[in-house]
Structure 1
Amino acid sequence: MSSLHEGSGPPQRSGPVRAPQSLAGGVVLLALGALALWLTRDLDQGSLSSMGPAMLPRWLAVAVGLTGLALLVFAFTKDGETLERWNLRGPVFVIAGILAFAVTIRPFSFGTLSTPGLGLLFAGPLAILIGGYATPEVRLRDLVILALSLTPFCMILFGDLLNLPIPVFPQALTGLFPADWSQKAVLRATAAIMTAAAVLVFLATRGRRRGPIDVADHSGRI
Structure 2
Amino acid sequence: MTHEVAEQPGREPVPPYARLEVIGGTTIIGIAALVWFGAINLAVGTLPNFGPGALPRVLAILLALAGAGVFIQGLVRREAAFERFEFALRPTLVIMLAVVLFGLFIRGGDFGLLSTPQLGLCVVGPLTVFIAGCAAPQVNLKELLVLAFGLTALMLVVFPDLLRLGIPPFPAILQNAIPPALGRETALRIAYAGYGAIALVLYLVFVRPDRRAA
* TM-score normalised per structure 1: 0.69
Q: 2: CA distance between counterparts of 1:101 and 1:78? A: 37
Q: Structure 1 residues 171, 187: closer, same or farther in 2, change over 3 A?
A: same
Residues 163-178 of structure 1 mapped to structure 2, 5 A cutoff: 163-174=164-175, 177-178=178-179
Q: 2: CA distance between counterparts of 1:137 and 1:113? A: 34
Which residue of 36, 41, 46 maps to 1:44? Answer: 41
Aligned equivalent of 2:3 = none
Q: Structure 1 residues 96, 39: closer, same or farther in 2, change over 3 A?
A: farther
Could you tell me which amino acid in structure 2 is paired with residue 79 of structure 1? R
What SS does the aligned partner of 2:110 have? strand
Could you tell me which amino acid in structure 1 is paired with residue 38 of structure 2? T
Q: Structure 1 residues 61, 94: closer, same or farther in 2, change over 3 A?
A: farther
Q: 2: CA distance between counterparts of 1:170 and 1:111? A: 21
Residues 4-43 of structure 1 mapped to structure 2, 5 A cutoff: 17=15, 20-21=18-19, 22-29=21-28, 36=34, 40=38
Question: May I ask how many residue pairs the two structures share in their alignment?
Answer: 200
- Residue 18 of structure 1, CA deviation: 6.2
* Deviations, residues 44-91 of structure 1 (Å, cap 9, x unaligned): 132151114x962x6655555555555554555443326354333333
Could you tell me which amino acid in structure 2 is paired with residue 44 of structure 1? N
- Residue 109 of structure 1, CA deviation: 2.6
Q: Structure 1 residues 203, 135: closer, same or farther in 2, change over 3 A?
A: same
Q: Structure 1 residues 148, 60: closer, same or farther in 2, change over 3 A?
A: same
Could you tell me which amino acid in structure 1 is paired with residue 196 of structure 2? T
Q: Structure 1 residues 73, 178: closer, same or farther in 2, change over 3 A?
A: closer
- Uncovered stretches (5+) of structure 1, i.e. residues with no partner: 1-6, 214-222
Aligned equivalent of 1:160 = 161
Aligned equivalent of 2:197 = 196
What SS does the aligned partner of 2:124 have? helix
Aligned equivalent of 2:4 = none
Q: Structure 1 residues 74, 190: closer, same or farther in 2, change over 3 A?
A: closer
Q: Structure 1 residues 118, 23: closer, same or farther in 2, change over 3 A?
A: same
What SS does the aligned partner of 1:186 have? helix
Aligned equivalent of 1:79 = 78
**Over aligned residue pairs, what C-alpha RMSD do you find?**
3.8
- Uncovered stretches (5+) of structure 2, i.e. residues with no partner: 1-6
* Deviations, residues 197-219 of structure 1 (Å, cap 9, x unaligned): 33343444358758xx9xxxxxx
- Residue 40 of structure 1, CA deviation: 3.1
Aligned equivalent of 2:104 = 103
- Residue 112 of structure 1, CA deviation: 1.1
What SS does the aligned partner of 2:158 have? helix
What SS does the aligned partner of 1:154 have? helix
**Structure with greater Cα Rg:** 1
* TM-score normalised per structure 2: 0.71
Identity of aligned pairs, percent? Answer: 29
Q: Structure 1 residues 23, 175: closer, same or farther in 2, change over 3 A?
A: closer
Q: Is this contact kept in 2: 1:91–1:134, CA < 8 A? A: yes
Higher helix share: 2
Aligned equivalent of 1:143 = 144
